[in-house]
Amino acid sequence: MKRIFISGGSEGIGWGIAQRFLKSGGYQVGICARNSVRLDELASSNPGLKTWVCDLSDKQSVKKLVESLNSDFGPLDVLVNNGGVFLPGQMHIEEDEVFEKLMATNLFSAYYLSKGVIPPMLRARKGTIVNMCSIASITAYAHGGSYSVSKFGMLGFSKSLREELKPHGIRVISVLPGATFTRSWEGADVPEERMMPAEDIAELVWTACSLGPRTVVEEIVVRPHLGDL
State how beta strands 180-181 and 27-33 pair. Answer: unpaired
Give kind and range of the element (H or E) at residue 128: strand 127-132
pLDDT at 8: 97
Q: Would you call 229 helix, strand, or coil by DSSP? A: coil
pLDDT over threshold 80, residue 141: yes
pLDDT at 190: 87
CA distances from 131 to 153, 189, 220 (A): 11, 29, 10
The question of whether 111 is a catalytic residue gets the answer: no
pLDDT at 229: 87
Determine the average pLDDT of the residues in 3-18: 97
pLDDT at 188: 77
* 63-121: pLDDT as tens digits: 999 999 999 998 999 999 999 999 999 999 999 999 999 999 999 999 999 999 999 99
Give kind and range of the element (H or E) at residue 79: strand 78-81
CB neighbours (10 Å) of residue 28?
18
- Cα distance between residue 150 and residue 28, in whole Å: 30
Nearest one of 209, 16, 226, 228 to 128, comparing CA atoms: 209
Could you tell me the domains of the chain?
Answer: 2-222 (3.40.50.720)
Q: From the candidates 111, 112, 141, 147, which is the catalytic residue?
A: 147
* 143-184: pLDDT as tens digits: 999 999 999 999 999 999 999 999 999 999 999 999 999 877
